[in-house]
Amino acid sequence: MMWKHTAKKGFLVFLLVILAVIPFVEPDEPLFVKASEEITQDDFPEDAPLEDKLSAILSDELLDGAVTGVSIKHAESGDMLFSQNPDTRLHPASNMKLLTAVSALETLGKNYRFTTEVLTDGRQRGKVLHGDLYLKGKGDPTLLKEDFDQFAKDLKEEGIHKIKGDLIGDDTWYDDVRLSQDLNWSDEPFYTGAQISALTLSPNNDYDAGTVIVEVTPSNKARGKAEVRVTPETDYVTIDNKTEMVSEDEEKDISIEREHGTNTIIVEGTMPVGGSNSRSWVSVWEPTGYALDVFKTSLEDEGIRFIGKSRETFAKTPDDAKLLTSKQSMPLEKLLIPFMKLSNNGHGEVLTKEMGKFVHDEGSWEEGLEVMEDVITGLGVNEDTILLRDGSGMSHKNMIPSKDLAQLLYEAQNKEWFDAFQYSLPVAGEPDRIVGGTLRYRMTSEPAKGNVIAKTGSLTGVSTLSGYVTTSDDEPLIFSIMINNYLGSSGDIRDIEDEIATTLAKHEF
């Protein structure tokens, strides 16, 4: 019965090992940790290796079934300090805007400005302009109603009171493809999927070009309909008000959505007396016509009217047309603030087309994406590992590994425009939306607050965060976190991203 003797001997050895370990265990600490208990970086001492802390966070069961790519680099040496699936191609969501911003800065320059022009092919006789008036767009996504008002004032100061001709919108600076190739039709009515035109208009200084703001306010009586207002005022869209006023103790439930393929905006639901306003940015169908309609209103408000059989139409401005007035946009480095801080999708697509126009004289997604690929591969991104489909990140077909995003952020530091690029990124925990941007409500405590500077990204099943952070012992780091195929709540997945970034901020090497 040799096996009995061997078993007894083994059991005695096991007891001796246990007795040897027990004295070194704190009396209020359990000897064994259940496998089901979550282990986080807080379970490690401060001097634990970074790899152990991050591996513990990434072992969270919330990530089961998801695909996570993480790359952490030292910002000065470029050494990879930690990685998980760094070569796996993943969807970047709005981290795609990092590629677009870098490419635009490198291609166009931080001082680049868009131009909008008002021209004519006619002649002025007295107070009458005999000929057509052209509003020529060259991609500016920051045009406001007040800019059109100024154009009208400029014409009035030139002595023009009447126009015997047509009002013509010229959007030929870009092609006539309005939506990127992978945009879901269900996204198109909303500001996140607004159509792209070289001649467009924004309702306020968030600069969501190609949209109107629809605001629903309560009336004073618990009957009839709520009041609906559109900014800027325009007849280009039609409001179908199906709302119902209810008593103040009833629930507010308001829906605002444009009917697909039309400019009919359906507003429906219940609004209680004394209830809070509801407001939504709604994209328009065909933004060139929208801009032209608002410009005509500006002309009429200034007392300039059309005479004869005038009409509103679209055409290319003749080469010999005379310039009457114009406006330049803010420089690119300032445009990057709403683009990156507020994650403005339209700006990403406009910049993509503008790069195509600038380099290849064709304002299209195809040519713009070719420019972007050339720029980022020149900054260390492997062209064999990426797929670029748009400039905003709305496409679920964009692909890039976290290693390449981290490399792009590393190489960007050596460019003369880097300060403008870094300044455009959201800053964790900073409540001012033009500083904190999409990170203003995240990581609101030190050492992450004001320290983590990064671009967020979110699509269905996708969450990303990539940027810069400094450790507690002043070591500058670059990180890229990409999580795909996740089916839980977006809040939970962002908590994991924030925990990783906060761990980097706390870490000492």
The per-residue DSSP string of 217-265 comes to: E--SSSSS--EEEEES--SSSEEEEEEEEE-TTSPPEEEEEEPTTSSEE
Across residues 45-57, what is the average pLDDT? 91
Share of the chain above pLDDT 70, in %: 91
Query: Which has more confidence, 310 or 227?
Result: 227
- The secondary element (H helix, E strand) that includes residue 502 is helix 490-506
Across residues 190-195, what is the average pLDDT? 96
Q: Which of 71, 94, 392, 424 is flagged as catalytic?
A: 94
pLDDT band at 497 (very low <50, low <70, confident <90, very high): very high
Q: What is the DSSP letter of 284?
A: -
pLDDT at res. 6 = 40
Q: Which of 53, 73, 97, 341 is flagged as catalytic?
A: 97
List, for residues 166-187, the tens digit of each pLDDT value: 999 999 999 999 999 999 999 9
d(CA 96, CA 66): 20
Residue 34 has pLDDT above 70, yes or no: no
Q: What is the DSSP letter of 277?
A: P
CB 449 within 8 Å of CB 443: yes
pLDDT band at 42 (very low <50, low <70, confident <90, very high): low
Residue ranges and CATH numbers for the domains of the chain are 50-111+332-506 (3.40.710.10), 115-177+287-328 (3.50.80.20), 211-283 (no CATH)
Residue 135 has pLDDT above 70, yes or no: yes
Q: Which of 83, 202, 343, 424 is flagged as catalytic?
A: 343
pLDDT at res. 17 = 37
- CA R_g for the chain: 29
- Sequence-distant (6+) residues with CB within 8 A of 14 are none
List, for residues 271-326, the tens digit of each pLDDT value: 999 999 999 999 999 999 999 999 999 999 999 999 977 788 999 999 999 999 99
- Whether 97 sits among the annotated catalytic residues: the reply is yes
pLDDT at res. 221 = 86
Distance of CA 32 to CAs 15, 40, 110, 292, Å? Answer: 15, 16, 58, 72
Query: What is the rounded average pLDDT for all residues in the chain?
Result: 92
